[in-house]
Homo-oligomer: A and B are copies of this chain.
Amino acid sequence: MSPGSTLTRHERLHRALTGQPVDRPPVWFMRQAGRYLPEYRAVRQRVSFLDLCGDPDLACEVTVQPVDRFDTDAAIVFSDILTIPEAMGMEVVFTEGRGPVLPRPLRTRADVEALVHPDVATALPVVPATLRRFRAARPDTPILGFAGAPFTLLCYMVEGSGSKDWLHPKQLLWSAPDVAQALLDRLADMVGDYLQAQIDAGAAGVQIFDTWAGVLTPEDYTRWALPAAARALARVKGAPRIYYTKDTSPFLHLVRQTGADVIGLDWRVEIGAARAALGDVPVQGNLDPVALYAPPEEVARRTTAILDAGGGTGHVFNLGHGVLPTTPIPGVQAMIDAVKAWRPPSAG
């Protein structure tokens, strides 16, 4: 990169995800199409969350919303990580304010063996269709695909809902390790095929969300979540693969062993320290989502501090976790503006 030149959004995202010099890091953020946006809430007054996830036209409409409002450098396709458990035959219920519930969680070997293992192209057509619609609607903006990581999907499928302690998934790992392993293997293959289908439909990259891997000890992470994520990622070719986890910063050297091209960071680690621990791999993150509730000048200060410490190259700016539903728009705008105003030190 020569100082002063600018990149297209496609170039900027691809170069950042592959560790090449950029004019400035690209910015997008997790759950950027969501309830904090009045235009999203307006759509949701008309349709349920499940109907929105199931309709490529509507899903494309809300995917576009934050791109048009904030001129983000990338979109992420609107969907939910529980589409895979649904396609495997599990009922998933979304209740306002409670999060997803799976009324019949997997607890026995028979439960796991009763799952179906459908062909991804047949069973999960909505997200690829949404990606194609977005590419036609906003050809200048790259769009990311995503899926839940195998261990995080296992957590929901075995617990039956979100949880603080994830008692049932951990008990399955330790009391019936062969059942847990069989489930992780099947999930890893589904997840990999699903991500590949998204790249084939035009995704500029894919992110795998292993949000709950951080409830594990380093030993359990190494035994369960890491190889399952690695197995899923190894099936995916043709575009950069981002691996996001939360609460795993005490063992980033293990996280890197997933083989992901880019490592997503939560807000609990200083980005410079994380890069030192990870070695030469691009990173994504890592502003505290709650920081967007701070006064805008404080949001800008924190954003700039992360960009400075990140070093500019091999960094995709993002939050450290999904944007919260009550987030004030001025905070989001201050973050976006600060990223766009930033330049690497060498560019003067």
Number of copies: 2
Q: Contact: B219 with A305, CB < 8 Å?
A: yes
- Known A-B contacts A165-B324, A270-B219; A294 and B175 likewise in contact (beta carbons under 8 Å): yes
* Binary contact track A158-182/B, C-beta < 8 Å → 1, others 0: 0000000111001100110000000
A256 interfacial by beta-carbon distance below 8 Å: no
Q: How far is the CB of A201 from chain B (nearest CB, A)?
A: 34
A288 interfacial by beta-carbon distance below 8 Å: yes
A49 interfacial by beta-carbon distance below 8 Å: no
Q: How far is the CB of A319 from chain B (nearest CB, A)?
A: 12
Residues of B within 8 A of A291 (CB): 170, 174
**Contacting residues of chain A (204-258) with chain B, CB-CB under 8 angstroms:** 214, 216-220, 247-251
A115 interfacial by beta-carbon distance below 8 Å: no
A101 interfacial by beta-carbon distance below 8 Å: no
Residues of B within 8 A of A290 (CB): 165-167, 170-171
**Contacting residues of chain A (137-176) with chain B, CB-CB under 8 angstroms:** 165-167, 170-171, 174-175
A342 interfacial by beta-carbon distance below 8 Å: no
Instruction: Find the B residue at minimum CB distance from A249.
Output: B250
Residues of A within 8 A of B (CB): 165-167, 170-171, 174-175, 214, 216-220, 247-251, 267-270, 273-274, 288-291, 293-295, 298, 305, 324, 326
By Cβ-Cβ distance, the 3 closest A-B pairs, closest first, are A249-B250, A174-B294, A250-B269
Contacts A174-B294, A214-B268 given; 9 further ones with Cβ under 8 A? A165-B289, A167-B326, A174-B291, A217-B267, A218-B268, A247-B268, A248-B268, A250-B250, A251-B269
